[in-house]
Amino acid sequence: AKPSPIAVATWNFQNATKMAGSMLYEGASALDAVEKGVMVEEGNLKNTTVGNGGAPDRDGNVTLDACIMSPDGNAGSVVYLKEIEHPVSVARKVMEETPHVMLAGEGALQFAIQQGFKRKNLLTENSEKAWKEWLKEKEYRPIINIENHDTIGMLCIDEKGDIAGACTTSGLAYKMNGRVGDSPIIGAGLYLDNEVGGAVATGMGEAVMKSVGSFLIVELMRQGNSPQEACEEAINRIVKQNKNHKEFQVAFVALNKAGEIGSYCIHKGFTYAKYQEGESSNNTSPSYMI
Ligand code: SD4
């Protein structure tokens, strides 16, 4: 049976799921809802892990990664994009206006400008201060649960029962210049199949990429696993594949076409936001490590 429209997102990004969810109940497509939903966090200056105000790399560059996927199986992505506040919207333009799926760096910026996006300095005073503080020690140590907010990955089902997804991030703080994570990689940070459902990831992108985590979860759901079982299997594989898994966080959220949600992570502390039928909630994910 077709579920009532639903928006789910990584972390306690309820402002984003409320935005997307209320659009869905006004008849918006899942694709429009995920884009507008994640844009809330891209524009949130207090969030130092997505969009404007995102933490820079080691050299002080704010470089953004984002992707979007539509129910028809089409996808768009941008990586290492500088100076554009809403990379998800550029990713959507890549999907809709070019024969390509992914644009990187200079070329992505050039394309964004051609499409009418405005350049903007995304390094806020606070992020610059924190980076300069970090430079004193230069210790690269990913933080497990960053103040309950991190990369936003979102999945929506609309009135028609179609599913769309988006994922957007400034990547790991103080990453190497040039580093790209899982978030803009179709199959890693996001994957969906309109016959089955979708999945999104947050946390240590390297581990998600090596497991092609979101694609794996969708395939496991296709084979009959619940979203919860599929997320648990993906985390179990990441645990097996990475001896140092105690040192980093990975979390997945999955949504199937019946509107069932699953979520699992390595370390406790991960939550996901949900909006359905006028109700907004933040939900605690079970974890591999107790
Ligand atoms: C990345 N998955 O770039 C993203 C960032 C993230 O915890 O979620 N950080 O690896």
* Nearest-atom index, ligand 1, CA of 206: 10
Answer yes or no: is the C-beta of 42 below 6 A from any ligand 1 atom: no
What does pTM read for this prediction? Answer: 0.96
> What pLDDT shows up at residue 148?
46
> What pLDDT shows up at residue 140?
75
> How do 197-203 and 250-256 pair as beta strands?
antiparallel
Looking at the DSSP bridge assignments, the partners of residue 271 are: 284
Give dist(CA 232, CA 212) in Å, integer: 14
Mutate to test the pocket of ligand 1, among 48, 147, 151, 252 (most ligand atoms within 8 A of CB): 151
Answer yes or no: is the C-beta of 169 below 6 A from any ligand 1 atom: yes
Q: Which of 48, 151, 169, 202 is catalytic?
A: 151
- Please, where are the H alpha helices in the chain? 14-25, 30-42, 87-97, 105-114, 125-137, 205-211, 213-222, 227-241
CA distances (Å), origin 7, targets 24, 87, 139, 155, 209? 8, 20, 37, 6, 24
Answer yes or no: is the C-beta of 213 below 6 A from any ligand 1 atom: no
Ligand 1 midpoint to CA 23 (Å): 27
> What pLDDT shows up at residue 1?
76
pLDDT by residue for the chain (290 residues), tens digit each? 789 999 999 999 999 999 999 999 999 999 999 999 999 999 998 888 898 889 999 999 999 999 999 999 999 999 999 999 999 999 999 999 999 999 999 999 999 999 999 999 999 999 999 999 999 988 877 666 555 458 999 999 999 999 999 999 999 999 999 999 999 999 999 999 999 999 999 999 999 999 999 999 999 999 999 999 999 999 999 999 999 999 899 999 999 999 999 999 999 999 999 999 999 999 999 999 98
* Nearest-atom index, ligand 1, CA of 180: 3
What are the strands, taking DSSP E only, across 158-194? 163-169, 190-193
> Per-residue pLDDT tens for 111-169?
999 999 999 999 999 999 999 999 998 887 766 655 545 899 999 999 999 999 999 99
> What pLDDT shows up at residue 262?
98
Answer yes or no: is the C-beta of 198 below 6 A from any ligand 1 atom: no
**Residue 163 is encoded by which pair of tokens?**
């599913």
Give CA 289 to chain center in angstroms.
Answer: 23
Answer yes or no: is the C-beta of 5 below 6 A from any ligand 1 atom: no
Q: What is the ipTM of this complex?
A: 0.96
Q: Known catalytic residue: 17?
A: no
H or E, element range at 284: strand 279-284
